[in-house]
Structure formats: structure tokens, C-alpha cells
Amino acid sequence: MLNLVTRTWRDMILANSPSAADRALRMGVASWLTIALVGQWIFACYIFIVYAIPVAGGDFALTRLSHPITGYVESDTMGNVLYFSHVIPAAILSMAGVLQIIPALRQQYPVLHRWSGRLFLSLGLCGAIGGLYLTWGRDSRLSDFGAIGITLNGLLIPIAVYLAWHYARLRRFAVHRRWAIQAFLLVNGVWTFRLYLMGWYIINQGPNGNTKQLDGPADIVLSFACYLLPMAVSGLVFWAEHKKHTILTWGVSGIMMLGSIITLFGVIAATFAMWMPPIQAVLAA
């Protein structure tokens, strides 16, 4: 894995980068990818320890230590199956998702890229449908108003998944790459929301514009920003790559570096404030 990350940095920053602005942009993208890879794998470990191990051992009630909105409910067989089939595959999405957009992996292992990509898009689509059902069919939400942002996220995922798959089948790989990245960002919207929310709490030393129902003004803004903001930034990166304008490239490079810093801060905040406590509780049980 270290060799893969090293090669990613080398290929993205040095290869075919005639200008300092191009190198800066690629460094910003590579930085974000590295941070996202670490954050996603921490999240995958959290899911594995808090959900997968207890379920494999038959101790379903232990998963309640993660304090889900509506988790395991005795006698609700269908709801429990949908719940765990929604949560546990997220570990696979987290382990494989970032790897899909690393150039070195795509170039060196194209077959692995294709099949893991199919798996990612399939699980992402199933996760979106399952998440929408859990939110509105099982009432796994804190408030109607607070669930609007994540609902739109779930509705956009099938569109991005279809377009990414469609253009891959047409072998229009440049367009496929754009939609695959948008699908990746949408599928990971809930993960990004956790980063933004915990980072916001740390900055403010507590809630500020937040409520227990996650329908405060800050909650609403973050629930939309967690996927719309990364999608907008990725659009700027594609635009800068296409325009080849030095000032524009430098500007987008700065945005990417800022995004990397925000993501790093969010990963640290979510790890210690949201993911570590349930991990410790499960391991101590």
C-alpha cells in the first residue's frame, strides 16, 4: 500500500506536468486522496469492529453501543436485515472506493479496477436505495426537515451510478471518470457529513447552530455541503485541467489544499469524537 501511495504521488505530480501550477494542482489532489484513503479505512475498521464482528458472533444487541437512530430491533426481522445489509457493506465501499480513483491502480491493475468498480457502484446503488427505505420506511431519522439533505444525496446516487456505468460501457473513459468520481463523492456523502459535523463541533467547542434532531441551521447546511461542496470542487479540478490557464490552476490548487486540510481535520475529529468511543465500548463489552 505504501508503494501504491508513493507511486500515486509520483505519477500525479511529476508525470506530464510541465508547469508549477499543474504540479501544485496534482499535489492538492494527491494530498486529498491520501487523507481520504486513511479516513475511509479508519471508518471501515469502525464498521468492522462495531457491526461486522458482533453480527458474525450473533450478538446483534452489541451494535446498539454505536447509538444508531434506529438500529437492531428485536422481532423486526426485515428491518434488521435491511439495516445490517446497508451498514456492513459500507466497510467494503470504504476499503475499495478511494482505490478506484487512484491512477496507479487503474493503470497497473485494469481488471481489478473494472471489477472492483462494478462492485463499488452496485453496493453504492443498493446502499442508496436501502438508506432511503430506512430513513422514510423505517423512520430512521431524527426529523423530517433534517433528513432532506441526506435524502437528496440518496436520490442523486442512482443517477451518478448509472451515468458512470453507462459511459464505461461506451468506452468514453474521460466522461466515465468524471461521473465515477461524482458517484464516489455522493456515495460517501454520509461519511463526509460525519467529518464536517465533528469538525464543526471541535471548532466551536460544542454545538453552534445544531440541534439534537440535526435540523438546526448548521446541520442543514452541512447535510447539503457534505456532497455538493466536494462535487463542486471536483468540477473545478476538471475545469482547470481542461482550460490549462495558469491563474485558474493556481486558484483551484489553493482550493484543493484547503479542502485537504479541512478533510484531515474532519478525519481526526470524527475518529476521536465519533468512531473511537463505540469501538472502545464494543471491545470492552
pLDDT for residue 194: 95
pLDDT for residue 198: 96
DSSP string, the chain: -HHHHHHHHHHHHTTT--SHHHHHHHHHHHHHHHHHHHHHHHHHHHHIIIIIHHHHTT-GGGGGGG--SS---TT-HHHHHHHHHHHTHHHHHHHHHHHHT-HHHHHH-HHHHHHHHHHHHHHHHHHHHHHHIIIIIS---S-TGGGHHHHHHHHHHHHHHHHHHHHHHTT-HHHHHHHHHHHHHHHTHHHHHHHHHHHHHHHHTS-SS--TTS-SHHHHHHHHHHHHHHHHHHHHHHHHHHH--HHHHHHHHHHHHHHHHHHHHHHHHHIIIIIHHHHHHHHH-
Model pLDDT for residues 192-214, shown as the tens digit of each residue: 999 999 999 999 999 999 999 99
Report, as ranges of residue numbers, the positions in the chain whose pLDDT lies below 50.
none
Model pLDDT for residues 37-94, shown as the tens digit of each residue: 899 999 999 999 988 888 888 887 777 777 777 777 777 778 778 888 888 888 888 8
